[in-house]
Structure 1
Amino acid sequence: MKPSLNRDRERGVSGPVLSGAQTTEVAKSWERCEGDWKLDPSQGWKADVLSGAEFRHVSGRSATLVQVAMPEMRRLFGLVQGLGLMALLADPDAMILARCIDETHQPLCRRLELREGALWNESEAGTNGIGTAVRDCCPLFLGEGEHWRFCFSLLASYAVPIFDAQGGVAGAINLAAFNGNETRPAAPLVLDAVMQAGRRIEEQLFRARYTGGRVLTLGPADGCSSPLVSINDDGEITGATHAARVLTGWTDATIGEHPKLLTELEAGEALSFQKAEESVIRSALALSKGNAAATARSLGISRATLYRKMKVMGLR
């Protein structure tokens, strides 16, 4: 998909040109930059930066995210430091909350306002890792020339949204480099590392929110969110991550009624629900160390029903 980038030729303004390999997400973002935000890519830009008092007030709302995410940020930074990448953490409004950078990054960080309190929302900065990831709720890689503004043309960004315990966007992690395409050969590996970090942060936020509940998986993670659910001692759903909600279609209203987990899964007709049910039973058995009675009790079903399902699934 390529956006139409018709410019005012009399002004001599020309937007970036998408390559055939460009993602749909980036193309859509460029369309918004031109059509919705009316941004001139050749224009210089300087981020709005909150004052110290404003930053302390706003960042306080993300205190738990910062506390949970910083160890992952430091770990990521250590892994990619040799590639010239820095690590940035932002809130749901694309405000930078924290960063891990090398001393050599300082001059360009000052020039581009890559610092705490800087606002990088897409409607002002154009297509960028943080702003576009939190808006579209999807992982994103931007190589040389793939940011909207020309002044960011040498930036490379690997950005992943972080989801909170209720499935909403809590913020984003962004690995950024000033060396353009030098990291492109390793892009799949770097983006996967960021997604794994995002999933670990999400899981910690989820487990902290539902302390005391049993956290089960509906299947393997495929993206930047893990399909996790929390159930109580009666096998009722008390919480679900972003991926679990996307998979099942559950809403806050659904979860608020505390339905039985396996009953909800059995109501689904798609094959994915059968796989999810098997994943739930496998993880419940693992948590109970193979104790069938404890597993059945935790899932809110009879032991006979559990045995029947295990037989159908080929589980011993």
Structure 2
Amino acid sequence: MAHSGHRHHEETVAAALAGGEAARSAIVASWARSVNVHGLDPRRSPRDERIDQGAFRAVHQRMEPVTLAARPTLERLFHAVGGFGASVILASEEGIAVERLGKPSEDRDFAEVGLWTGTDWSEAAVGTNAIGTCLVERRPVVVNRDQHFLSLNIELTCVSAPVHDADGNLAAVLDVSTVRRDLAEGFAGLISHSVTEAARKIEADLFLARHPRARMVLVPGTERGLGALLAVNADELVIGATRAARQHLGLAGDLARDPVPLADLLGLDSHLRPEDGERAVIARAIARARGNLSAASRALGISRATLHRKIGRPGSGTGSGGRI
């Protein structure tokens, strides 16, 4: 970008802030935070924002559960967008890029703008950008070229979406960025949905890893795909919920410690008396035995006559096995 382009950007930022446009534009509001909260200047080069190796190792180790769960999705996303001259970044909740996928032929371009592992892309470090602004606003963000705060970043077009852990807390940011001018205008609209859906897939994988033995229930009445999940134990109690499920159902707190009946959450019929629960156990055993009462009674550890009595059917206690 020529210096005249930088000057034009800097004048645009100054005019927008002077004109009080922050109340009407999320981008200008982020520019205002960059100036008033973080003391940044669009004319200045960012300070060296790559953290030292020891600090990066500590962040990477802490993020390992997220990066391991995210890796297959990162690779699928890069396979889809890599041909657009894009790189895929997974950043920590502080804005540190911890994983990056990109073509070797384009590494130099991204290294020059600092989109590299170990680099701090928080708003406090580099002003308005998709990763940092996503962290502040806790929502998917698109930042096209001169919407960035620093003049040196206006070559970039970036799309980011937040990633939440199994407890619904912000854990990472998924970002796709390109430096290609010829694709920048339509690039964000083309892939923004894909980035958000990929972030939800990572959230679902993190959730499944947290609750490997639970039954997964997709919350009805949402358009969030895999995002709105409940983890349900053998007692039909909800012991976990993704952020999307928590938001939709108004859930809060530690569900593993204070579980909630699934039926109560979803408005389903449920067993209210102990004998109802016993009948449910018996019904499942008979279903598993495909109606064979002898097999079902053995599975339940009771006699066939007792089983007949509990289900309210007369039984002779003789015969070769019988089926309902």
Q: TM-score range by the shorter chain?
A: 0.7 to 0.9
Cα pair 1:68 1:201 within 8 Å, conserved: yes
SS in structure 1 of the partner of residue 146 of structure 2: coil
Equivalent residue, structure 2, for 1:126: 127
| 1:1-316 equivalences in 2 (<5 Å) | 15=13, 25-180=26-181, 182-219=183-220, 222=223, 226-253=227-254, 256-266=257-267
SS in structure 2 of the partner of residue 252 of structure 1: coil
Q: Deviations over 1:181-226 (max 9, x none)?
A: 7233243330111111111111010011011111111136646981
CA distance in 2, matches of 1:192, 1:224: 12
CA distance in 2, matches of 1:242, 1:58: 23
Taking structure 1 as the reference length, the TM-score comes to: 0.73
CA displacement at 1:136 relative to structure 2: 1.9
Cα pair 1:13 1:42 within 8 Å, conserved: no
CA displacement at 1:138 relative to structure 2: 0.8
Flag the structure with larger Rg.
Answer: 2
CA distance in 2, matches of 1:254, 1:65: 21
CA displacement at 1:88 relative to structure 2: 0.8
Q: Deviations over 1:210-252 (max 9, x none)?
A: 1111111113664698111111111111111111111122111
In the alignment, structure 2 segments of 5+ residues that lack a partner are: 1-9, 270-282, 285-324
CA displacement at 1:179 relative to structure 2: 2.2
CA distance in 2, matches of 1:182, 1:96: 23
SS in structure 1 of the partner of residue 248 of structure 2: helix
CA distance in 1, matches of 2:171, 2:197: 16
Equivalent residue, structure 2, for 1:297: none
Fraction of identical pairs, as percent? 25
Cα pair 1:225 1:243 within 8 Å, conserved: no
Taking structure 2 as the reference length, the TM-score comes to: 0.72
C-alpha distance 225-153 of structure 1, shift in aligned 2 (>3 A): farther
CA distance in 1, matches of 2:171, 2:82: 25
Kindly provide the amino acid, as one letter, of the partner of residue 54 in structure 1: A
Kindly provide the amino acid, as one letter, of the partner of residue 46 in structure 1: R
Kindly provide the amino acid, as one letter, of the partner of residue 121 in structure 1: S
SS in structure 2 of the partner of residue 49 of structure 1: coil
* Aligned length in residues: 257
Cα pair 2:95 2:122 within 8 Å, conserved: yes
Kindly provide the amino acid, as one letter, of the partner of residue 192 in structure 1: H
Q: Deviations over 1:286-310 (max 9, x none)?
A: xxxxxxx66xxxxxxxxxxxxxxxx
SS in structure 1 of the partner of residue 70 of structure 2: helix
RMSD: 2.7
Q: Deviations over 1:91-130 (max 9, x none)?
A: 1111010111112322222222221111111112111111
CA distance in 2, matches of 1:95, 1:238: 31
Kindly provide the amino acid, as one letter, of the partner of residue 81 in structure 1: G
Cα pair 2:123 2:132 within 8 Å, conserved: yes
